[in-house]
Amino acid sequence: MKRLLSAYASDLAAMTPAEFKQAIRASEGRTVLGETVVTAAPLIDGVSNAEMMAAFSCDLLLLNELDVFAPEIVGFYECANPIAELKYLTGRPIGINLEPVDTSQQLLENRVELASGRQVSPQSLEQAQKLGVDFIVLTGNPATGVSLAAISEAIALAKQHFSGLVFAGKMHGAGLGEAVVDGPALLEFIQQGADGILVPAVGTVPGVREELLAPLVSQIKAQGALVISTIGTSQESADSQTIRDLALSNKRVGADIHHIGDGSYGRMPDPENILALSLAVRGKRHTYFKMGQSVRR
């Protein structure tokens, strides 16, 4: 059993979901998750954003706005299964967002309507399984109306129809006025079966402070779930010093996974900010290890 921090592509390919989760936990807050929007042109023509994020040391790759019933990635070459192809090219675990839309909620802005392949359902979860997705994130994009209550219901559904890891929570309001950091609701997610809980990175959502998150993170981890700190408020395109400050703050809080979102040029994190985050939470030794290793190892 290897920690994710020290794993090669061949190690990852052989891991069960339970081993994958333990490999993240064993890395002690030094796992980096990069997110990209697949409906936008890539940052650099001829290189997918997933490959770019892996090259700049991301351990986990998250595809946003992927329609599982029509899994196309703008700017990527034609292939039968782009998930399997990206896993082959990068040697990294691949996840997708699926959104539990709550139509009963009144939004603060105009609602963005989603295709069925981006929403949670037994069919979309089973299709994600067929595509070879390693982890699913149950969360909401801006103005989609995803609520914590709907996420809770979706977790139980996901555990029935998908065998990979299930992460759940909100990076921001998703168009609703509810509190994003709701301790009882997030702890309930674990009882529903969530493997990891999303919390906004300290300093990204108004009012989210270290003294608010730290006790809750300790409770989440005590119940066996991972904690994913998220930068999903376009601060992924801020200056590198801001990213370093966010990263160290969330490591002090106790995050297992440091997520950096897709709100920059090319709809992926600024590559230099991925590097800044990685260097801050794990130093040059482990960052360069991830950047330099071949996917054939």
DSSP 189-220: HHHHT-SEEEEEPTTTSTT--HHHHHHHHHHH
Angle at 239 between CA 234 and CA 244, to 5 degrees: 95
d(CA 206, CA 185): 19
- Sign of the CA dihedral with 92 first, then 229, 246, and 231 last: positive
List the chain domain ranges.
Answer: 4-292
The pTM (predicted TM-score) of the whole model is 0.96
Q: What is the pLDDT of residues 208-230, one digit of tens each?
A: 999 999 999 999 999 999 999 99
The whole-angstrom separation of Cα 264 and Cα 175 is 20
Find the helix or strand (DSSP H, E) in which 148 lies.
helix 148-161
Q: Which residues of 26-35 are buried (b: 16+ CB within 10 A; e: fewer)?
A: bbebbbbbbb
Query: Above 70 in pLDDT, residue 175?
Result: no
Average pLDDT value for residue range 146-153: 92
Task: Say how many CA atoms lie within 13 Å of 177 toward its Cβ.
Answer: 5
* Residues contacting residue 210 through CB under 8 Å, at least 6 positions apart: 202, 249, 252, 253
State how far the Cα of 146 lies from the Cα of 103, in Å rounded to an integer: 8
Q: Which residue has the tokens 């595809």?
A: 63
Nearest to 278 by CA among 63, 59, 92: 59
pLDDT digits (tens, 9 = 90+) for 185-208: 999 999 999 999 999 999 999 999
Q: Which residue has the tokens 């920690």?
A: 3
% of the chain beyond a pLDDT of 70? 97
Q: Are strands 257-260 and 60-64 parallel, antiparallel or unpaired?
A: unpaired
CATH 3.20.20.330 for the 4-292 domain, yes or no: yes
Q: Record the tokens describing residue 198, joined without a space.
A: 């999303």
Mean pLDDT score, 65-80 = 96
Beta-carbon contacts of residue 139 (< 8 Å; ≥ 6 apart): 97, 99, 146, 151, 167, 168, 169, 170, 171, 174, 198
Give the per-residue pLDDT at 109.
67
CA distance 27 to 6: 8
38: nearest Cα among 30, 48, 28, 29: 48
